[in-house]
Amino acid sequence: MAANMYRVGDYVYFENSSSNPYLVRRIEELNKTANGNVEAKVVCLFRRRDISSSLNSLADSNAREFEEESKQPGVSEQQRHQLKHRELFLSRQFESLPATHIRGKCSVTLLNETDILSQYLEKEDCFFYSLVFDPVQKTLLADQGEIRVGCKYQAEIPDRLAEGESDNRNQQKMEMKVWDPDNPLTDRQIDQFLVVARAVGTFARALDCSSSIRQPSLHMSAAAASRDITLFHAMDTLQRNGYDLAKAMSTLVPQGGPVLCRDEMEEWSASEAMLFEEALEKYGKDFNDIRQDFLPWKSLASIVQFYYMWKTTDRYIQQKRLKAAEADSKLKQVYIPTYTKPNPNQIISVGSKPGMNGAGFQKGLTCESCHTTQSAQWYAWGPPNMQCRLCASCWIYWKKYGGLKTPTQLEGAARGTTEPHSRGHLSRPEAQSLSPYTTSANRAKLLAKNRQTFLLQTTKLTRLARRMCRDLLQPRRAARRPYAPINANAIKAECSIRLPKAAKTPLKIHPLVRLPLATIVKDLVAQAPLKPKTPRGTKTPINRNQLTQNRGLGGIMVKRAYETMAGVPFSANGRPLASGIRSSSQPAAKRQKLNPADAPNPVVFVATKDTRALRKALTHLEMRRAARRPNLPLKVKPPLIAVRAPVPLPPSSHPASTNEPIVLED
């Protein structure tokens, strides 16, 4: 019962998605809506996965400084990886969430120098924070509410002086005496002097024009003159004049007029006081933000002094009573039963009704986090086409802490060659490109969207290491698995060890003789001469034999024609056409335009006379075989040309029977 009772000030888990981790929030208010539901006004806390990589680097440097200053014991890489999941970032962002989305309680504390980081891993649902995240400005700042506990905040106690030893320190630099309790004046004389000081202060406010406007009545001027600033000035005057009442009286009223002492309550205007109350309602006692956003013309000391004086006024007491009345009318706590509905990402076992992500999972897959093969329940994790899954314990860890138990390869963890690789740190196109269930065409299509130019620059030591340490590098194996990390530091270290030994037996380098550029250009021009441009207005001959040859191939290469029977289109085999198939009588559909970014690089083939003659010598079967296997060379015997006597052709009146070319005017 107590575990399901949530109160104002509790840190709780909120679930906004069935597949994403929980949100960590702090309950500020519990409000009942008009329809009877309960909404929680919460303060947002962010994880490392919610901020940018640059801010993560800043958080890493802050963590290293904390470990050096607090002298933390050493932790393993896995513990350091899990500590990042326990770190949160406080913010001043508020939001309202339904109370029914609460999934449990957690503990969030301010990180202190006396804390040991490894202790947070030993406790369940325990988090810490040390930085404040601004979602609007995208900045990380140190929390101003830090409790100064630690060795560097302790006072340094000097050694005790021996008997008769004099203190050689300069007392004026260390402290200043402002009041002597062993003064010659009695308490009655001191009280009489304080009454005179208040009267002088009231008279000084009557003479001051600005004070007479702010305190138009005598009662208000007398009340302002009775404040602590007047009493402090009177007691300081007695101390400076050696507790001589006559000298002190003359100091209170110099030759120019009475001395006027005013504190921050009198210096501030009514509008400035209203701004301060508004800022205090928004930021609390964060005086740096109050000064920056609301009162930049005031000093920080002035704002702090005004705050403590403002707490002594009736205005503060009135606001405190109003807040107490509002708190009494609001809910103090709410009971949320335990959430028992099944998660949609739960993988249903074979034989039962398949769930949303349960159908289609292959057997033999291991947990992406702990790599176990046995679990009472499995959950789908990551993109659906990746078919990644987590066991029951790793799924709970993922939901609570927003990460996997073991670090991924991008975070510096070295895995075995037989272990599966986690894809949680990759983007969706990258993860799908590494999937064994993605075809090469789809993989190229996905990677083309995120194509970016990059340049790899290798040093001399790296190039030497490729030759000296081929047994460690295994370049053929590395080329087959480009996503697997290579320990370059270990290879370079081994290369530096082998390099002195290899210097005695230098490598044999076979120089390659390259042809000059002019020779290469001549060979390219001879192999593939460019087709000359036809000038405009010239005659373009068309051979009739080519037209008849194309008509002969049309029956094989062109689609079969369709016939129409009783208004219903039928194909040549007698089957009726489907609604989605276009018949020959229907108009052609508009051709789809290709995206210029997805189009391949243009490749131009220039045909020569030999190439055209070779095409004519190929049969239709050989042409199709060559199209299916373009990488294989063609084995075609050149046709034998026999010289025969010309046979006179019978004259024909029809122009189609002639073999002479038809000339068309452009």
Tens digits of residue pLDDT in 186-200: 999 999 998 998 888
Count the neighbouring beta carbons within 10 Å of the beta carbon of residue 424.
18
pLDDT at residue 581 above 50?
A: no
Residues 375 and 493 in one domain: no
Position 15 pLDDT exceeds 90: yes
In a domain, 77, yes or no: yes
CA pair distance 229, 227, nearest whole angstrom: 6
Statement to judge: residues 251 and 308 lie in one domain: no
pLDDT at residue 300 greater than cutoff 60: yes
- Of the pLDDT bands very low, low, confident and very high (cuts 50, 70, 90), residue 485 is confident
Q: Are 24 and 120 part of one and the same domain?
A: yes
Q: Which CATH number does the domain housing residue 234 bear?
A: 4.10.1240.50
Model confidence at 593: pLDDT above 90: no
Examine residue 104 and state whether it is found in any structural domain, yes or no.
Answer: yes
pLDDT digits (tens, 9 = 90+) for 486-520: 888 888 888 888 877 765 666 566 677 888 888 88
Q: Exposed (0-12), middle (13-18) or buried (19+): which is 376, by Cβ within 10 Å?
A: exposed
User: What confidence score (pLDDT) does residue 450 get?
Assistant: 45
Among the three residues 443, 475, 504, which one is the final residue of a domain in this structure? 504
Question: Residue 414: which pLDDT band, with cuts at 50, 70 and 90?
Answer: very low
CA angle 75, 80, 83 (to 5 degrees): 120
Whether residue 233 lies inside any domain: the answer is: yes
What domain range includes position 199?
187-262
Residue after which a domain boundary falls, among 343, 375, 407: 407
> What are the backbone dihedrals phi and psi of residue 125, each rounded to the nearest 5 degrees, phi first?
55, 40
Q: What is the pLDDT of residue 451?
A: 47
Mean pLDDT, rounded, for 641-656: 48
Q: Are residues 37 and 85 in the same domain?
A: yes
Average pLDDT, whole number, for the chain? 75
Residue with more model confidence, 324 or 539: 324
The per-residue pLDDT for 461 is: 79
Position 254 pLDDT exceeds 60: yes
In a domain, 95, yes or no: yes
* Residues 249 and 316 reside in one and the same domain: no
Kindly tell me if the per-residue pLDDT of 267 is higher than 90. no
Instruction: Check residue 32 and give its pLDDT.
Output: 86
CB atoms within 10 A of CB 627: 8
What predicted TM-score, i.e. pTM, was given to this entire model?
0.48
Share of the chain above pLDDT 90, in %: 18
**What is the pLDDT at residue 398?**
93
With respect to residue 658, please indicate whether it lies within any of the assigned structural domains.
no
The answer to whether residues 110 and 216 belong to one domain is: no
pLDDT of residue 498: 81
DSSP notation for 496-542: HHHHHHHHHSPPP--PPP---HHHHHHHHHHHSPPPPPPPTT--EEE
| Position with higher pLDDT, 486 vs 541 | 486
Q: Are 97 and 17 found together in one domain?
A: yes
State the pLDDT at residue 103: 92
Is the domain of 83 the same as that of 109? yes
Question: Which pLDDT belongs to residue 473?
Answer: 83
State residue 309's pLDDT score. 87
Place of tokens 């996965």: 49
Give yes or no for residue 337 having a pLDDT over 60: yes
Is 570 domain-assigned? no
Q: How far is CA 344 from CA 81, 286, 341, 359, 378, in A?
A: 28, 44, 9, 12, 11
Say what percent of the chain tops pLDDT 70. Answer: 70
Per-residue confidence band for 591, with pLDDT thresholds at 50, 70 and 90: low
Residue 203: per-residue pLDDT: 82
Residue 25 has pLDDT above 90, yes or no: yes
Average pLDDT over residues 243-251: 89
CATH code: domain of residue 371: 3.30.50
pLDDT at residue number 666: 45
Residue by residue, DSSP assigns 346-413 as BPPPTTS---TTTTTPPTTPPPTTT--S--S-EEEES-GGGTEEEEHHHHHHHHHHSS-SS--GGGT-
Listed in order, strand segments (DSSP E) in 165-217 are none
More confident residue, 665 or 566: 665
From 44-48, 52-56, 325-329, 437-441, the region with the lowest mean pLDDT: 437-441
Does residue 121 surpass a pLDDT of 80?
yes
Q: Is the confidence at residue 335, as pLDDT, over 50?
A: yes
Please indicate, yes or no, whether residues 25 and 88 belong to a single structural domain of this protein: yes
Half-sphere exposure of 580 (CA within 13 A, CB side): 0
Residue 335 CB contacts under 8 Å (≥ 6 apart), including other chains: 1, 4, 5, 6
Q: How many domains does the chain have?
A: 5
Pick 403 or 215 by higher pLDDT: 403
Instruction: Match 């949680």 to its residue by tokens.
Output: 424
Q: Same structural domain for residues 138 and 32?
A: yes
pLDDT per residue over 137-150, tens digit each? 888 888 765 566 77
User: In sequence order, what are the beta bridge partners of 316?
Assistant: none
State the average pLDDT over residues 582-600.
51
pLDDT for res 538:
46
Quick check: helix, strand or coil at residue 664?
strand
pLDDT for residue 49 is more than 80: yes
| One-letter-per-residue 3-state SS of 414-442 | CCCCCCCCCCCCCCHHHHHHHCCCCCHHH
Same domain, 11 and 126: yes
Higher pLDDT, 489 or 52: 52
List pLDDT tens digits, range 57-67. 999 999 998 88
pLDDT digits (tens, 9 = 90+) for 351-392: 444 444 444 455 557 888 888 888 888 999 888 777 788 999
Rounded (10°) angle between helices 228-240 and 187-207: 120
Domain contains 571: no
What are the pLDDT digits (tens) for 417-475?
Answer: 333 334 444 444 444 444 444 444 444 444 344 445 556 777 887 888 888 888 888 88
Residue 309: CATH number of its domain:
1.10.10.60
Is pLDDT above 50 for 565?
Answer: no
Which range in 316-325, 491-500, 545-554 is most confidently predicted, on average pLDDT? 316-325
Q: Which helix (H) or strand (E) holds 472?
A: helix 470-473
514 within a domain of the structure (yes/no): no
Query: Which pLDDT score is estimated for 20?
Result: 92
pLDDT for residue 21 is more than 90? yes
Residue 9 sits in the same domain as residue 135: yes
Q: How confident is the model at residue 615 (pLDDT cuts 50, 70, 90)?
A: confident
